Chain A
Amino acid sequence: AQKITQTQPGMFVQEKEAVTLDCTYDTSDPSYGLFWYKQPSSGEMIFLIYQGSYDQQNATEGRYSLNFQKARKSANLVISASQLGDSAMYFCAMREGDGNNRLAFGKGNQVVVIP
């Protein structure tokens, strides 16, 4: 069964607008971590934001915020004030448990920011 689901088709976003990328996950482990990564065309995976399953508040990192809805098993990424450099693939990932570094990734969302 798929652990991470990202179903949105490719998106075109106007520069300076906000964009929300959807991510739903599936786990029975009470302890897990959720990550968002950005992958530009160069191929490198760039860490954006982390949310732990026990975190009480939604994570924020600069222009990135995570809308964490635990009961719905949803961890959507919000990018505010989009910039041209935000054009990339965005991946949601999950680590189940605490004693490992094994990430399960979604299929990704393609975002293109247009001027």
Chain B
Amino acid sequence: KAGVTQTPRYLIKTRGQQVTLSCSPISGHRSVSWYQQTPGQGLQFLFEYFSETQRNKGNFPGRFSGRQFSNSRSEMNVSTLELGDSALYLCASSLRTGSTYGYTFGSGTRLTVV
């Protein structure tokens, strides 16, 4: 079965622009979580969506937002990009909340802000 698909794989944006990243979870999975990975801060939780509702949000400014559609696909948006937003953005899907069998991650979107 198809894994978690993240698009695009690579992005280059200019400071001040906005960007939208997409994540299609495994078929049947209803939970999508987003993470930011940087060399300095490591992997940090952004937010989690389950059945189109945001369930959890990490400590990120309001410039970071997300949503989930009825087909469980999720998008995250970053407005007014800053150089520090350059990172690998990973999404993970799971069947439900409180998963005990692990979360399946996508290959990530590597965002470079110049």
Contact = CB atoms under 8 A, between A and B. Distances in A.
A47 B107 contact: no
A104 interface: yes
User: What is the interface residue range for chain B against chain A?
Assistant: 20 to 34
Interface string A29-65: 0000101010000111111001010000000000000
Given A99-B98, A103-B33, A44 B56 contact: no
Contacts of A33: 100
B48 A35 contact: no
B98 A103 contact: no
Main secondary structure of the interface of B (DSSP, over half): strand
Nearest to A93: B43
B48 A100 contact: yes
A38 to B, nearest CB: 11
B100 A50 contact: yes
A16 interface: no
A47 B55 CA distance: 22
A99 B48 CA distance: 12
A68 interface: no
Interface stretch (B60-68, B76-84, B87-95): B87-95
B40 to A, nearest CB: 10
A9 to B, nearest CB: 16
Interface string A69-95: 000000000000000000000010101
A33 B40 CA distance: 25
Contact of B55 (A52, A95, A98, A100): A100
Nearest to A46: B105
User: What is the interface residue range for chain A against chain B?
Assistant: 20 to 34
A102 B107 contact: no
A106 B39 CA distance: 12
24 contacts: A35-B102, A35-B103, A42-B107, A44-B105, A44-B106, A44-B108, A47-B103, A47-B105, A50-B100, A50-B101, A50-B102, A100-B56, A101-B92, A101-B99, A101-B103, A102-B33, A103-B35, A103-B43, A103-B92, A103-B103, A105-B35, A105-B44, A106-B42, A107-B42
